[in-house]
Structure 1
Amino acid sequence: MLIKSLLSHDLPRSRLLAALLILIVIGLALTPFIFPSTRALNVAAKMLIFIVLVASYDLLLGYTGIVSFAHTMFFGIGAYGIAIASTRMEPGWAAVGVGLGAALVVSLLLSLAIGLFSLRVKAIFYAMITLAVASAFLTLASQLSEFTGGEDGLSFKLPAALQPSTEYLEQPFLGVMFDGRLLSYYLLFAATVVLVLLLLRIVNSPFGRVLQAIRENDFRAEAIGYRCVVYRSLSNVLAALFATLAGALLALWLRYNGPDTSLSLEIMLDLLLILVIGGMGTIYGAVVGSVLFVLAQSYLQDLMKLGAAALDGVPLLSQLIAPERWLLWLGLLFVLAVYHFPSGIVGRLRAGLATSPSKHE
């Protein structure tokens, strides 16, 4: 009963999906102990940040049906809020609080303005407007070097409690040193769990049901008395605020932010890919898709190096799986995933693995 309440009665509805989600949560919780390396910890932290970011975009695209290319702008605002405040103030929790608060206010105002002035136009025109706004913001972030550090970005210090040099135990516990870096990871993990549960609560509330009704048929939703522009604007604001929080988590983990780190178009494309692979309109799809995507992005090249070494001397195969061609194979894996899981991995697992793609569609 407690689990149902925490998940807002939106259960996985599939034993395989439930097992996969449990495995992901346990794996991320125990990563510092199972894989005690800096690289593994960075990969796990990236997964956590992308889970929040993709889930926030799913609220916009999957549940409301709004295609926006400005989502990474709010992600960048959150990261820059922390970075700018921490470089201009004394490093500490006050700087983090001021930066996060200022970023949330800026994101609130910008998302509200974009929503109120642009959501009355047709979907393709709205997408183009958001793309133009995001491009303009990226240009400003690159050129306003006095505030944003320009192309070089900003490096800053964390509060003392989160600094790697801060040690909480004299001796390692289970082979892991309890320091500020480990505390940062578990704060990131706790924040991700709370934000995902909060998003589940939102999409399974009456407000979330109205968003889904607007996605399915906005004319009918308007006809029965719902102001579609108001609900779409609120969805836009909520998605932007969650993306801002994800950007703040990114900055706190990296202790750095720059235009390519949080504002690039590549991140926006990654969001779309993850949503398609995981399954739109399911917060669980953001969790599963983010983990699989970051794993493939981080370790596929290493696997190909091993394969290329094993097949050294075989003319065609050794060239096909050369490590420098990892993006080609990553793209092929995505195409196969979309073909075999047309409604995403979560949608397919919920429908049952025995269902063929044609029947599922």
Structure 2
Amino acid sequence: MIRALLSHDLPRSRWLTLLLVVTVLGLALAPFLFPGTKSLNVAAKALVFIALVVSYDLLLGYTGIVSFAHTMFFGIGAYGIAIASSRMEPSWTALGLGLAAALLASLLLSLVIGLASLRVKAIFFAMITLAVASASLTLASQLSEFTGGEDGLNFRLPALLRPATQFLDEPVFGVTVDGRLLTYYLVFFTVAALVLLMLRIVNSPFGRVLMAIRENAFRAEAIGYRTVVYRTASNVLAALFATVAGALLALWLRYAGPETSMSFEIMLDVLLIVVIGGMGTVYGAVIGSVLFVLAQNYLQDLMRLAEGPLGDVPVLGALVSPDRWLLWLGVLFVLSVYHFPTGIVGRLRSASLKR
């Protein structure tokens, strides 16, 4: 049953299996294990990043395509939900229409980008997508009539998803069962479905062709596969997955803005997560996303605790200051890439094979 659910792509490592089980259970039970607004926001952000990174790994890890326009599709999903919900009555119809319009826009844009650009060399395709991403970010910031400009768009959700809606009079294990909790589990199960669907895609004959193109595009073309068609299809699928991830982010935040969904910082974060987790592994996207979001949100808190006893030490006190958290985050990433060149998943699987 589990083997079929995972499309016969098992972790192939006891430690990786344990890590995945802990991660999935932690995210599934996060509202009850870690009550509080911040912890719930961190868990929801980790789920959104899992969906986004999984979609990008289809491009980079499985097909060998470097694209910088991925956050554009992420932003299209967020703005699709926000624009529809702000211009219509807050309802499931507005959410459905917004998501459908965003998916259609991403489908057309990714198809045009794929067909027009994927025939060129990799570096030129990367530069084209970078230009497209810059243009989309500028448009989102300047078309204030539609996107709210730099301020973005706030919107209301359907009644069932609002925090004020309570389904039970008494808390369950100390947690209020309200619309916020329902929204979290809507995000959780949607992301779980996306991950399982991506596992099915990459382990299908289509996915095998993508990996063949990644290894040697000329050889794949020589044996009869039209690489442009497969690369374009990969680009479209990745864009659609990213659009759904953006819609989930907007749904959770009840807000869409250029900095939260289309900034280059998000693109850099996605690249780091793919490398840290392991390129060409769906499980790497899951593990890497969770570790990255946890480090991003709690490293500063840990440093604040260390500052107490070490604050008076001349040099060390300055280094452990919470204001230096980005420095240490960078050091952690450099160390992880150095010690895990194939990513966390690759390292765990290779260690398992040596035994």
Aligned residue runs from structure 1 range 236-255, under 5 A: 236-255=235-254
In structure 2, the partner of 1:122 is: 121
1:4-19 aligned at under 5 Å gives the runs: 4-19=3-18
What secondary structure does 2:63 align onto? Answer: coil
Deviations 1:299-337 (CA, angstroms, capped at 9, x unpaired): 000000100112122112111111100001000000000
Alignment deviations for residues 105-148 of structure 1 (CA, whole Å, 9 cap, x no partner): 00000000000000000000000000000100110111100000
Report the Cα distance in structure 1 between the residues aligned to 2:145 and 2:7, rounded to whole angstroms: 45
Q: Is the 8 A contact 2:311 2:321 kept in 1?
A: no
Q: CA deviation at 1:353?
A: 6.7
Alignment partner of 2:315: what SS?
Answer: helix
CA distance in 2 between partners of 1:30 and 1:141 (Å):
36
CA RMSD of aligned residues (A): 0.8
Aligned partner of 1:292: which letter? Answer: L
Equivalent residues in 2 for 1:202-241, closer than 5 Å: 202-241=201-240
Alignment of 1:145-294 (within 5 A): 145-294=144-293
Can you list the C-alpha shifts for 1:146-199, whole angstroms capped at 9, x where unaligned?
000000000000011000000000011110000000000011110011000000
Q: Does 1:33 align with 2:32?
A: yes
Partners of 2:185 and 2:101 lie apart in 1 by 24
Query: Using the alignment, how far apart are the partners of 2:173 and 2:310 within structure 1?
Result: 38
Aligned partner of 2:82 in structure 1 is: 83
Q: Where does residue 342 of structure 1 map in the other structure? A: 341
AA in 2 matched with 1:315: P
The aligned length equals 354
Q: SS state of the match for residue 62, structure 2? A: coil
Q: Which amino acid aligns with 2:69?
A: A
Give the Cα–Cα distance (whole angstroms) in 2 for the partners of residues 312 and 50 of structure 1. 34
The corresponding residue for 1:22 is 21
Q: Shift in Å at residue 354 of structure 1?
A: 9.2
CA contact (8 A) 2:140 2:149 kept: yes
Deviations 1:243-281 (A, max 9, x none): 000000000000001000100000000000000000000
Structure 2 distance, partners of 1:268, 1:302, is: 25
The one-letter amino acid paired with 1:93 is W
Q: Render the CA deviation track for 1:5-47: whole Å, top value 9, x for unaligned.
A: 0000000000000000000000001111111100000000000
Compared CA separation, residues 203 and 354, structure 1 to 2 (3 A): closer
* Structure 2: distance between partners of 1:323 and 1:353: 37
Match of residue 358 from structure 1: none
Looking at structure 2, the residues matched to 340 and 353 of structure 1 have their Cα atoms a distance apart, in angstroms, of 16
After TM superposition, the score normalised by the length of structure 2 is: 0.99
Unmatched 5+ stretches in structure 1: 356-361
In the alignment, is the contact (CA less than 8 A) between 2:81 and 2:95 conserved in 1?
yes
List structure 1 segments (4+ residues) > 3 angstroms apart after TM superposition: none
Tell me, yes or no, if the aligned pair for 2:311 and 2:318 is still in contact at 8 Å.
no
Asked whether the equivalents of residues 114 and 231 of structure 2 are also in contact (C-alpha less than 8 Å), the reply is yes
The residue type paired with residue 187 of structure 1 is: L
Counterpart amino acid of 1:88? R
Match of 2:165, SS state, is coil
Which residue identity does 2:147 align to in structure 1? T
Alpha-carbon distance in structure 2 between the residues aligned to 1:307 and 1:327: 16
Alpha-carbon distance between aligned partners in 1 of 2:339 and 2:352, rounded to the nearest angstrom? 10
Aligned AA for 1:100? Answer: L
Q: Which residue of 1 aligns with 2:52?
A: 53
- Identical columns (%): 75
CA distance in 2, matches of 1:116, 1:33: 47
Distance (whole Å) between structure 2 residues aligned to residue 313 and residue 229 of structure 1:
61
Kindly provide the CA deviation profile for residues 33-75 of structure 1, in whole angstroms up to 9, marking residues without a partner as x.
1111000000000000000000000001000000000000000
Contact kept? 2:14, 2:352, Cα under 8 Å: no
Q: Distance in 2 between matches of 1:309 and 1:276?
A: 34
State the distance in 1 between where 2:235 and 2:70 align: 9
- TM-score norm. by structure 1 comes to 0.97
Q: Does 1:68 align with 2:67?
A: yes
Equivalences for residues 277-356 of structure 1 within 5 A: 277-352=276-351
Look up the equivalent residue of 1:250 and give its one-letter code. L
Structure 2: which amino acid aligns with 1:270? D
Structure 2 partner of 1:102: 101
> Unaligned stretches of 5+ in structure 2?
none
* Secondary structure of the structure 2 residue equivalent to 1:62: helix
| 2:10 counterpart letter in structure 1 | L
